Amino acid sequence: MTHDSALERLRGGAEPRNHDARTIAALTANPGCARRGIMDAAGVDKDAVARRLGFPAPFGQSQFAITRGNAFEAQVKADGCAELLTLLRDRLGLDVPEVAYDDLEVVAGNESRELRHARTRRLLERALSSGEGTLFDHPLLRLDIAGQPAYLEPDVIAFQLGGRFHIIEIKSFAVIDGQAEPEQVAAAARQSAVYVLALRRLLEELGAPAERVSHEVFLVCPENFSNRPTATPLDVRPQLAVLGRQLARLTRVEQIVGGLPDDLTFELEAEELPDAVRTVEARYAPECMASCEMAFFCRDEARACGGTGVLGKAVRDDLGGVDSIGTALALADGSLDPSPDLAETAERLRTAARLRREALTA
């Protein structure tokens, strides 16, 4: 069976689900999870699978947050991005000269993704050769994910300055006294890295060096409970490195497929769906709750088998090869003799248990 037909069988014949920047960025949140890797590579609708298994994940923004986000974005982009340009010039001290603004969202009333992507290519090619164009709104980019082209939702601006492109991401979460919620900033950095990578791939296709897309992106958010925008530069090199590794791993998904039963399918109507999902190894961690549609199912499974992953990635990594909480407790109270490779971990667990006893006694 070919690789493509194996992936089609895993999807149960359904159409592959498209990725977007959020789903691609989420791949980097738990790169070691074979279950997620295989489901994403096959384009399985994880949300539908989770619902069918009785573990729906309440993902997505509230209507209020969406409306607020849209209003803020419209404000920043009004009048050819007037407010955005003021920000870039004044706050960041950037010398932005004469400005040209191209909105790539609709091509002559036709919104097909292929046409919009072709127009993005054309305008960026012109910008590369002539330096023309400053702000490219809604560029439609494309990235290959496990051999499937993924079009990326256009909610960013590509900004050209001095022959280099920067990604500008507009988010509606607030920056208060110069600080924003770290998790939201981290998620924005991961998503921006996806755009940087996709724009780099496009420039390479056009014969330009990838470095002409900067690893520094600008995050534009409302400031201090007002609607006034503020811009913060973000270095996304760490996120780019993780993303590159994870995408490379996805292309080797054939190896995971090769180790699975020949008749395995995630077909939604199949009675064996729960068993089929459990066949593929997962690496649950609490971080999954913010990034994967399968999180409630995997958490339930991890709790039932007492896996150390439910205590968080840091604890799981600290415990090395100890996979279950029961084993960790038995090593800690000395009722289980450790194998040689777990001797050091067992020693640390016994020390921790002793310190806990002493603290409780004191």
Q: By CB under 6 A, name the binding residues for ligand SF4.
A: 30, 33, 35-36, 282-284, 288, 292, 294-295, 298
According to DSSP, the residues that pair with 222 across neighbouring strands are: 229
Which of 240/288 has CB closer to ligand SF4?
A: 288
**C-alpha of 175 from chain center:** 22
Which of 85/288 has CB closer to ligand SF4?
A: 288
Q: Parallel, antiparallel, or unpaired: how do β-strands 101-103 and 135-137 relate?
A: parallel
What are the two backbone dihedrals, phi and then psi, of residue 11, each rounded to the nearest 5 degrees?
-75, -5
| Minimum gap (Å) between residue 183 Cβ and ligand SF4 | 16
* The token pair that represents 223 in the structure block: 């400031």
| Minimum gap (Å) between residue 37 Cβ and ligand SF4 | 8
Which of 35/200 has CB closer to ligand SF4?
A: 35
Residue 236's Cβ-count burial label (10 Å; 0-12, 13-18, 19+) is buried
Q: What is the rounded distance in angstroms from the CA atom of residue 278 to the CA atom of residue 77?
A: 47
Q: Under 8 Å CB-to-CB from 239, ≥6 apart: which residues?
A: 25, 28, 189, 190, 192, 193
Instruction: Please name the amino acid found at residue 83.
Output: E
Contact predicate 225/121, CB 8 Å: no
DSSP state of 107: B
Q: What is the rounded distance in angstroms from the CA atom of residue 181 to the CA atom of residue 172?
A: 12
| Minimum gap (Å) between residue 246 Cβ and ligand SF4 | 12
| Minimum gap (Å) between residue 297 Cβ and ligand SF4 | 7
| Minimum gap (Å) between residue 39 Cβ and ligand SF4 | 7
Which of 168/288 has CB closer to ligand SF4?
A: 288
Of 127, 150, 140, nearest to 206 by C-alpha is: 127
Residue 162: count of CB within 10 angstroms of its CB? 9
Contact predicate 27/40, CB 8 Å: yes
| Minimum gap (Å) between residue 138 Cβ and ligand SF4 | 30
Helix (H, G, I), strand (E, B) or coil at 52: helix
Which of 92/289 has CB closer to ligand SF4?
A: 289
Q: Parallel, antiparallel, or unpaired: how do β-strands 164-170 and 216-222 relate?
A: parallel
| Minimum gap (Å) between residue 44 Cβ and ligand SF4 | 10
| Minimum gap (Å) between residue 309 Cβ and ligand SF4 | 8
What are the two backbone dihedrals, phi and then psi, of residue 175, each rounded to the nearest 5 degrees?
-105, 115
Contact predicate 165/158, CB 8 Å: yes
* The token pair that represents 56 in the structure block: 């729906």
| Minimum gap (Å) between residue 261 Cβ and ligand SF4 | 18
Which of 28/120 has CB closer to ligand SF4?
A: 28
Which of 272/287 has CB closer to ligand SF4?
A: 287
Which of 36/215 has CB closer to ligand SF4?
A: 36
Which of 122/245 has CB closer to ligand SF4?
A: 245
